[in-house]
Amino acid sequence: MKPAALALAGGVVLALLQQQVLLRRPPRLLELQSSTASSGPAALALRFSRPMDRASLASQSRLDPQLFHQWLGASNPLRLLLGSSQPINGVLELLIRGADQRGIGLLPQRWLWDPRPRLLAVVPQGNGEQLQLQQRDGSWRSLTPVFGRITAVLPLGDGSGLALATRQGEGERLWLLPLQQRALERSGQGSLGLVKQGSLRALLPEQLIFAHLSSNRRGDLLVQWSSRALGQSITTFWPRHGTPQQLKLQASGPMQLLPEGGALVVPELEGLSLRNLPGKAERRQLLPGSRDLSSFCPVSGRALLVRHWPDFRRSMELVEPGLPPRQLWLGSDAVLSSSCDRGGERVWLLLSNWRDAQRNRLLEINRQGQIVRERVLQGWDVEPGVPMAYDPTRQQLLLTLRRRGSSEAQPVLIPVASLQLQPLRKAVRQALWLPPG
């Protein structure tokens, strides 16, 4: 046999041997990421070195505490989804064990997972304000210098940073604070829960007249802003990965990015329109009428709208893809804020009576528009302009309230099972959730 043929045959044999060795090696977990979930409080995305037997993973893996969960997907990647009817009050320990589709076992791995959001607050400091983060042990840590005033704070939807607008003197500045969070770690590393902050940097060089901020779960940022030099409103879109772009959109109010990404809601004189972001085909879907976007639900395409009627009444509507708006509530009270669970199975409304401004109510309403629970916020005033936020992991609402007669507001946690108020001893201007990274 010729030397060239021998070399070729030897190469083929070597390749076959290497292939057999690789096939006999145990499968590996290549990537494990904590992610948001529309139908449950939290989820994990898992990617392996080869297709896995999902039933094997489901039967051999363990979660401690033993919360109800499901394994979703065909073979690779897979998804572990936590059930929606159980609160998560601490760190979860996950043992990942199972076999691939050839029956070869995965080397077992233990991971610690904490999908709970963190509490952020704008805190008064002397003659100014500072952004602070509550750590897992209950202590507070400063994230920013003291500014004259912090006029807006927005956590990016993927937990990778914070956008904030500050006022010092007559103008506003727009800033971005990068963050690195550790919601997952291999058991024994000891770094779970660490939050590392990057360098605070200005997003725009100009002093602004105003800035409205919006983000989505991808971590994209949308800013409507204006400066005295320009004298007009500008909309700038900062994608999570890419270069900033100016959007040529006319709006009659604040625009909001859709949580899942790819589009935004634009208020217009004729109603609310849905527009695609750059990179997709232009699209404009219009919902006519005098409506304001109140909040998004976790399930894609679901949102709560406030409709204004000619007789000065207001209604709360649930919108779903392909269906007309569903009216959940109608009354003369002002809707201060709202929040919802999953696809709108449970909706919470914060209402203010225009005849009696001291009578604020918190309602829980089901999809049929029935009031399930009601809590009068006796002795409390609502901090103006601060929205209500829902934490699905611990099944609790977050409000910023002031005791009547007090000059300082407090974060108030409200478990949805009882709607009992649990105020925290912390003077704040605003309290909000930081999603896990």
Q: Is residue 381 part of a domain?
A: no
- Which amino acid, one-letter code, is at 220? D
Domain boundary pick from 257, 289, 321: 289
- What are the per-10-residue average pLDDT scores of the chain (437 residues)? 55 50 79 82 94 97 95 94 90 96 95 96 96 96 97 96 92 95 85 90 91 96 88 90 91 95 94 91 92 94 96 96 95 96 95 80 97 95 94 97 94 97 97 93
Give the H/E segment covering residue 129.
Answer: strand 128-134
Residue 119 has what pLDDT? 98
Q: Is residue 2 part of a domain?
A: no
Same domain, 108 and 212: no
Tokens of residue 205, six digits: 């060089």
d(CA 312, CA 397) in angstroms, rounded, equals 28
Same domain, 213 and 264: yes
Give the H/E segment covering residue 5.
Answer: helix 3-24
Residue 6 has what pLDDT? 52
Q: Report the CATH number at residue 37.
A: 2.60.40.1220
Same domain, 158 and 224: yes
Same domain, 154 and 281: yes
Q: Is residue 31 part of a domain?
A: yes
Helix and strand totals (H; E) in the chain: 2, 38
d(CA 336, CA 361) in angstroms, rounded, equals 10
Residue 3 has what pLDDT? 58
* DSSP line for 363-377: EEEETTS-EEEEEE-
Q: Is residue 395 part of a domain?
A: no
Q: Is residue 349 part of a domain?
A: no
Q: Is residue 235 part of a domain?
A: yes
Same domain, 279 and 155: yes
d(CA 68, CA 113) in angstroms, rounded, equals 15
d(CA 404, CA 357) in angstroms, rounded, equals 12
Same domain, 32 and 92: yes
d(CA 277, CA 410) in angstroms, rounded, equals 37
Same domain, 153 and 249: yes
Q: Is residue 214 part of a domain?
A: yes
Residue 168 has what pLDDT? 83
């609790």: which residue's tokens? 396
d(CA 308, CA 316) in angstroms, rounded, equals 9
Q: How many domains does the chain have?
A: 2
What burial class does residue 89 get, using C-beta atoms within 10 Å of its C-beta: 0-12 exposed, 13-18 middle, 19+ buried? exposed
Same domain, 284 and 177: yes
Same domain, 151 and 284: yes
Tokens of residue 360, six digits: 């604020």
End-to-end distance of the chain based on CA atoms, in angstroms?
Answer: 61
Same domain, 107 and 228: no
Domain boundary pick from 238, 268, 289: 289
| Residue 36: closest CA among 415, 300, 294 | 300
Give the H/E segment covering residue 339.
Answer: strand 334-341
Give the count of beta carbons closer than 10 Å to the beta carbon of residue 121: 25
d(CA 180, CA 55) in angstroms, rounded, equals 34
Q: Is residue 29 part of a domain?
A: yes
Same domain, 263 and 162: yes
Give the count of beta carbons closer than 10 Å to the beta carbon of residue 232: 6
Long-range pairs for 331-336 at CB < 8 Å and ≥24 separation?
A: 333/361, 335/294, 335/306, 336/360, 336/382, 336/388
d(CA 326, CA 318) in angstroms, rounded, equals 5
Return the percent helix, strand and coil in the chain, to nearest 5.
Answer: 5, 50, 45
Residue 251 lies in domain: 147-289
Domain boundary pick from 289, 312, 333: 289
d(CA 401, CA 326) in angstroms, rounded, equals 30
Same domain, 155 and 107: no
């320009």: which residue's tokens? 230
| Residue 51: closest CA among 74, 31, 75, 70 | 75
What burial class does residue 285 get, using C-beta atoms within 10 Å of its C-beta: 0-12 exposed, 13-18 middle, 19+ buried? exposed
- Which amino acid, one-letter code, is at 324? P
